Amino acid sequence: MTEQMQVTRSWFDEVIVPTYAPAAFIPVRGLASRLWDQQDREYIDLAGGIAVNALGHCHPALVKTLTEQGQRLWHVSNWMTNEPTLRLARKMVDATFADRAFFCNSGAEANEAAFKLARRYAKEKFGEQKNQIIAFLQGFHGRTFFTVSVGGQSHYSDGFGPRPGAIQHIPYNDIAALKELISDSTCAVVMEPLQGEGGVLPADKEFAKAVRELCDQHNALLIFDEVQTGMGRTGSLFAYMQMGVEPDILTTAKALGGGFPIAAMLTREAVAQVFQPGVHGTTFGGNPLACAVAETAFDLINDPAMLAGVKEREGWFRAELEKINAEYHCFSEVRGQGLLLGAVLTEAFAGKAKAFVDAGIEQGVLVLVAGPNVVRFAPALNLTAEEFAEGMRRFTLAVAQVVKA
Ligand X SMILES: *Cc1c(COP(=O)(O)O)cnc(C)c1O
Q: Is residue 106 part of the contact set for ligand X (CB under 6 A)?
A: yes
Closest distance of CB 405 from ligand X, Å: 30
Q: Is residue 112 part of the contact set for ligand X (CB under 6 A)?
A: no
Q: Is residue 37 part of the contact set for ligand X (CB under 6 A)?
A: no
Closest distance of CB 136 from ligand X, Å: 11
Q: What are phi and psi of 12, to 5 degrees?
A: -55, -45
Residue 56 vs 198, nearer CB to ligand X: 198
What sign does the CA torsion over 254, 255, 256, 262 have? positive
Q: Is residue 371 part of the contact set for ligand X (CB under 6 A)?
A: no
Burial of residue 39, with CB atoms counted within 10 A of its CB: 0-12 exposed, 13-18 middle, 19 or more buried: exposed
Q: Are 381 and 232 in contact (CB under 8 A)?
A: yes
Of 26-34, 104-112, 128-136, 242-250, the window that binds ligand X (rule: CB under 6 A) is 104-112
**Identity (one letter) of the amino acid at 98?**
A
Q: Are 281 and 287 in contact (CB under 8 A)?
A: no
Of 80-88, 91-99, 192-200, 362-370, the window that binds ligand X (rule: CB under 6 A) is 192-200
Q: Is residue 52 part of the contact set for ligand X (CB under 6 A)?
A: no
Q: Are 251 and 225 in contact (CB under 8 A)?
A: yes
Separation of alpha carbons 357 and 398, rounded Å: 8
Q: Is residue 256 part of the contact set for ligand X (CB under 6 A)?
A: no
Q: Is residue 225 part of the contact set for ligand X (CB under 6 A)?
A: yes
Q: How far is CA 405 from CA 238, 328, 329, 401, in A?
A: 40, 13, 15, 6
Closest distance of CB 83 from ligand X, Å: 25
For residue 201, what are the β-bridge partners? 195
Closest distance of CB 365 from ligand X, Å: 22
Residue 254 vs 313, nearer CB to ligand X: 254
Q: Is residue 240 part of the contact set for ligand X (CB under 6 A)?
A: no
Q: Which of 37, 112, 197, 320 binds ligand X (CB under 6 A)?
A: 197
Q: Is residue 108 part of the contact set for ligand X (CB under 6 A)?
A: yes
Separation of alpha carbons 390 and 384, rounded Å: 10
Q: Which residues are annotated as a binding site for pyridoxal 5'-phosphate?
A: 107-108, 140, 225-228, 283
Residues annotated within the binding site are 107-108, 140, 143, 225-228, 282-283
